[in-house]
Chain A
Amino acid sequence: EAAVTQSPRNKVTVTGGNVTLSCRQTNSHNYMYWYRQDTGHGLRLIHYSYGAGNLQIGDVPDGYKATRTTQEDFFLLLELASPSQTSLYFCASSGDWGANTGQLYFGEGSKLTVL
């Protein structure tokens, strides 16, 4: 069974604070993704990666950095958090296109509140 684990599950910080969201997958997948979920917007892609050391920008990358340190680990960094980044963040993984189904496997989410 595919497994994606996110931490922390809940985080509260202040404006200007520094936050790191962590994601680990044990699926041996090459692709990993960070999405944010907001009411009225659905899920929007922030950054994604297709392997250690690789980083691609998504649709809403401003204010976010990301780093893929290993095949398993993908981090999302907010260096100067703002209230507009209050959201529910999801990490997901998938295998190479064509090798599997292109299905995304999601973690359970990290709720971030920026005061």
Chain B
Amino acid sequence: AQSVTQPDARVTVSEGASLQLRCKYSYSATPYLFWYVQYPRQGLQLLLKYYSGDPVVQGVNSFEAEFSKSNSSFHLQKASVHWSDSAVYFCALSINSGTYQRFGTGTKLQVVP
């Protein structure tokens, strides 16, 4: 089945530390992958997307993600987190040639002092 797995429901990191949020996908064809962020009481906003080419993609607010076909992964990374990065992060996979997206269960990030 075409699916996305985010194995970590919650992640806590110290401000200034590096971050990796994990995403694994299951899809037989070339995947189109996305990371979205949800701040409290808001809808989701796109952070970055991968379609093809360079496996490392840059996004907003210094986030980047690395696509690995061999590992079926699309992990989100940031070199130094800020308290304002506290939010819920969703990985998503495009289905049926882009007609809709299927989401993971989300990872809640808490940045502590």
Contact = CB atoms under 8 A, between A and B. Distances in A.
Contact of B44 (A50, A56, A98, A106): A106
A100 B44 CA distance: 18
What size tier do the contact residues of chain B reach? Answer: 20 to 34
Contacts of A90: 43-44
A26 interface: no
Contact of B101 (A40, A104, A107, A109): A104
A106 B43 contact: yes
Contact of B106 (A31, A42, A109): A42
B57 to A, nearest CB: 12
Contacts of B106: 42-43
Interface in A19-58: 31, 33, 35, 40-45, 48, 50, 56, 58
Given A45-B100, A90-B44, A107-B43, A102 B94 contact: yes
Interface string A1-34: 0001000000000000000000000000001010
Interface residues of A, number: 27
A29 to B, nearest CB: 13
A33 B42 contact: no
Interface of A: 4, 31, 33, 35, 40-45, 48, 50, 56, 58-59, 90, 92, 97-98, 101-104, 106-109
